Amino acid sequence: MSFFKTLEVTETTDKKSADWSNAEHVRCLIIGSGPAGYTAAIYAARANLKPVLYQGMEAGGQLTTTTEVENFPGYPHGVTGPVLMEDIKAQAERFGTDVRWGEVTEADLTQRPFKLLADGAPILADSLIIATGATAKYLGIESENKFKGAGVSACATCDGFFYRDKVVAVVGGGDTAAEEATYLAGLASKVYLIVRKPYLRASKAMQERVIRTSNVEVLYEHVTKEITGTNVVTGVTLTKRQGETDEQDVKLAIDGFFVAIGHKPNSDIFAKYLNMDEIGYIKTVPGTAKTNVPGVFAAGDVQDSTYRQAITAAGSGCMAALDAERFLAE
């Protein structure tokens, strides 16, 4: 039984009211410790909203899984993902953000203050900033895991620069894969686009862009079997399907392998209350971080299927905190 169902069942009992009367009540609750969450915290703390931030299972967010970040402003010589995130966290704490370990597992956004379950305890929030990010989908093969950060990437904008004049493969058949392949084609000498189906699922316009790009070769009806190499990626073995039963292995020499089969926004617990697209990206009012529920704001990758960069996440975190501050002031 869910936490809120438990509360509903005990609604008439004293225990239920005692639970909420003892619950901590905060002005601004931030969920997520990536660039969006910590940047929201910097602005919220400086506006005296006394933000409480829950880090979740991946403290520091996606950037803690990467080594070199070369495109975040302010670091002319680059910075590692973990160091960058420690720096932003320190900045948020310097202004008094209460950063806590723990996950928000349930939410009731039907009325204010919003009711949430954070790290197992009930918490009431006058305003809520959701910065829970999105998780890249991977193929799930063993060798992919082995080479993450050593030739396997899920972000061409982030890592493409390291493959200038090299040979890369992109796996996927949708718009993201087509976009990643054409982006990489501007940097790499050759791009293989590995597509499971006999056609691309990408929009007509994106398909045409792929076909017009001379250094992209589309390999239809190929499935990735194994990524190969010693310390870094040097090749990939594909299985080519021929007809119903016939299969043949194809080996390619590559330097980088980009997975572009989509992302999953971490928004499930809010699905009942917030407007989302069919994938689960939270919809915000254009030009703001406002969701359809007044007092609930969304920032970063959880509401951005287009840019998915640390700097855009940080920018929208700033917007969310400013919107929350104005909301509370009203």
Residue in 28, 159, 175, 304 annotated catalytic:
159
- Is 159 in the active site? yes
Residue in 28, 158, 255, 301 annotated catalytic:
158
Region of residue 24 (phi > 0: left; psi between -120 and 50: alpha; otherwise: beta) = beta
- Is 155 in the active site? yes
Residue 272 in tokens: 């009942």
Nearer to ligand FAD, 32 or 222 (CB): 32
Nearer to ligand FAD, 237 or 312 (CB): 312
Per-residue exposure over 109-135, b if at least 16 CB sit within 10 Å of its own CB, e if not: beeebbbbbbeeebbebbbbbbbbbbe
Shortest distance (Å) from residue 30 CB to ligand FAD = 9
Shortest distance (Å) from residue 118 CB to ligand FAD = 7
Nearer to ligand FAD, 69 or 168 (CB): 69
- Token pair 């869910």 is found at 2
24: Cβ–Cβ under 8 A, 6 or more apart, which residues? 52, 121, 122, 123, 124
Residue in 19, 108, 155, 318 annotated catalytic:
155
Question: Largest Cα–Cα distance of the chain, in whole Å?
Answer: 71
Shortest distance (Å) from residue 136 CB to ligand FAD = 6
Shortest distance (Å) from residue 180 CB to ligand FAD = 13
Nearer to ligand FAD, 47 or 130 (CB): 130
CA distance 287 to 137: 28
85 within 8 A of 61, measured Cβ to Cβ: yes
Q: Which residues contact ligand FAD (rule: CB under 6 A)?
A: 31-37, 54-59, 61-63, 65-66, 69, 71-72, 103-104, 131-133, 136, 154-155, 158, 266, 300-301, 308-311, 313
Q: Which residues have a catalytic role annotated?
A: 155, 158-159
